[in-house]
Amino acid sequence: MEPSAPGNLRCFSKKKRDLTKPVNVFHSTGDGMNAYMAYKVSTQTTLPMFRSKMFTVRRRFSDFLGLYEKLLDKHAQSGYIVPPPPEKSIMGMTKVKVGKEDNSSAEFVEKRRAALERYLQRVVCHPSLLQDPDVREFLERDDMPRAHSTQALSGAGFLKMINRATDAVSKMTIKMNESDVWFEDKLLEVEAEDQQLRKLHIMVESLVGHRKELSVNTAGFAKSVAMLGSSEDNTALSRALSQLAEVEDKMEQLHQDQAASDSFCLAELLADYIRLLGSVRASFDQRMKTWQRWQDAQNMLQKKRETEAKLLWANKPDKLQQAKDEITEWEAKVTQYEKDFDRVSSTVRKEVLRFEKEKARDFKKQIIKYLESLLQSQQQVEFWTLVCIHNRLFHTFF
């Protein structure tokens, strides 16, 4: 992902912030199952907080997950939407490790690389996350300690956690006296959208599958027509049939390219946003937690007040002071937690609005890119069909 011109609401709207981050793939190191893919992360920046203007580091997939884990630990409870990295994929990675040199493993590596790049782009586009020293370290530091315990935080595991948490949250929402209906509405919207995107993703994957199938079947058909043409004893028809076979061969390639485009442009976009929506729900979940903490503190305060009242009535002056101290303590907590809740609420709100703007931009850009690739492919189809008509069929027959 490249930054666009400054001026619109994007990461690079302020003059100093110039950050480009292409992620390239390094060849794999080690052998067999111990092999790992190293990714080359190159940064170009004019920001003063970095040591130099251009630098490159090597990172493993688990490093990316480690970064995510750190960011989640630090920022999630404030209500920030922390962008999630792509999922771990045991099968995909194993094929690559075992050295399977075929289209599907090349495709997998490219998809992963692109997904990691988009992940980093989202992180650095986030004004608050960019300031985090862990991000800086990730981009700059030459050798990083291996991130462990990323098992629980791999994409799938994370989503499972979120789903469980969100279920708990939905049970809570019924009880929550929502003073601001915006949050309730927004959460419903997010959930509905999540459902639709998942449906869409399945359909796009199905389309990719069928196009790949079409490509294979077209190749089979082309060969078959070529055979038919060679056994046809009328020379003109024979030539026409072999021309048809050639055109179908070209179509096969086009279908193949189209399937790749469907996959890369559309399916990956949808997968990203399904993960991101998970993060959005997580931030709502955080807000819920802070609300709960505030409520719990209020209940505790109430209890302490009751204790005080009881002590007054029972006339036990020695314990009374303790009770009064506790009341003061909890009154402070209640105030603090209320402030926290308000702060988190406003962060979540801001984050959601920012997220929506970014999402709109992302979708528009990607879909336009996809349509442009469709256009190119149609132009090719038109070209080859014209060749078929004008060059051969007519000259052959007339």
Closer Cβ to other proteins, 73 or 189, answer by number: 189
Residue 102 sits in the site that holds other proteins (CB under 8 A)? no
- Cβ contact 180:345 at 8 Å: yes
Residue 225 sits in the site that holds other proteins (CB under 8 A)? yes
Kindly indicate which of the ranges 41-49, 57-65, 123-131, 389-397 contains the residues binding other proteins, using the contact rule CB under 8 A. Answer: 389-397
Among 23, 116, 240, 267, interactor with other proteins by CB under 8 A: 240
Among 13, 104, 328, 385, interactor with other proteins by CB under 8 A: 385
Residue 359 sits in the site that holds other proteins (CB under 8 A)? yes
H helix or E strand, kind and range, residue 205: helix 181-231
Among 130, 161, 172, 393, interactor with other proteins by CB under 8 A: 393
Residues contacting other proteins: total by CB under 8 A: 54
Q: Identify the three-state secondary structure at position 185.
A: helix
Distance in angstroms (rounded) separating the CA atoms of residues 106 and 125 = 29
Smallest gap, in angstroms, from Cβ of residue 373 to other proteins? Answer: 10
Distance in angstroms (rounded) separating the CA atoms of residues 191 and 189 = 5
Q: Identify the three-state secondary structure at position 26.
A: coil
Distance in angstroms (rounded) separating the CA atoms of residues 393 and 264 = 37
Residue 382 sits in the site that holds other proteins (CB under 8 A)? yes
- Chain Cα centroid distance, residue 275: 5
Smallest gap, in angstroms, from Cβ of residue 244 to other proteins? Answer: 7
Kindly indicate which of the ranges 55-63, 95-103, 294-302, 379-387 contains the residues binding other proteins, using the contact rule CB under 8 A. Answer: 379-387
Distance in angstroms (rounded) separating the CA atoms of residues 151 and 66 = 10
Among 128, 131, 151, 217, interactor with other proteins by CB under 8 A: 217
Angle at 83 between CA 164 and CA 371, to 5 degrees: 110
Among 184, 367, 391, 395, interactor with other proteins by CB under 8 A: 367
Closer Cβ to other proteins, 134 or 356, answer by number: 356
Distance in angstroms (rounded) separating the CA atoms of residues 175 and 170 = 9
Residue 50 sits in the site that holds other proteins (CB under 8 A)? no
Residue 339 sits in the site that holds other proteins (CB under 8 A)? no
Type of residue numbered 26: F
Distance in angstroms (rounded) separating the CA atoms of residues 97 and 287 = 42
Smallest gap, in angstroms, from Cβ of residue 82 to other proteins? Answer: 22
Kindly indicate which of the ranges 52-60, 140-148, 214-222, 284-292 contains the residues binding other proteins, using the contact rule CB under 8 A. Answer: 214-222
Closer Cβ to other proteins, 152 or 368, answer by number: 368
Residue 271 sits in the site that holds other proteins (CB under 8 A)? no
Strands (E), the chain: 19-20, 23-25, 38-45, 54-60
Distance in angstroms (rounded) separating the CA atoms of residues 50 and 58 = 17
Closer Cβ to other proteins, 120 or 388, answer by number: 388
Among 100, 141, 210, 319, interactor with other proteins by CB under 8 A: 210
DSSP string, 53-70: SEEEEEEEHHHHHHHHHH
* CA atoms within 13 A of residue 375's CA, in its CB half-sphere: 6
Q: 234: closest CA among 242, 222, 224?
A: 242
The set of residues, in sequence order, having a beta carbon less than 8 Å from that of 32 and lying 6+ positions away, is: 97, 98
Residue 203 sits in the site that holds other proteins (CB under 8 A)? yes
Contact positions vs other proteins (CB under 8 A): 189, 192-193, 196-197, 199-200, 203-204, 206-207, 210-211, 213-214, 217-218, 220-221, 223-225, 227-228, 231-234, 236-237, 240-241, 244, 356, 359-360, 363-364, 367-368, 371-372, 374-375, 378-379, 381-382, 385-386, 388-389, 393, 397
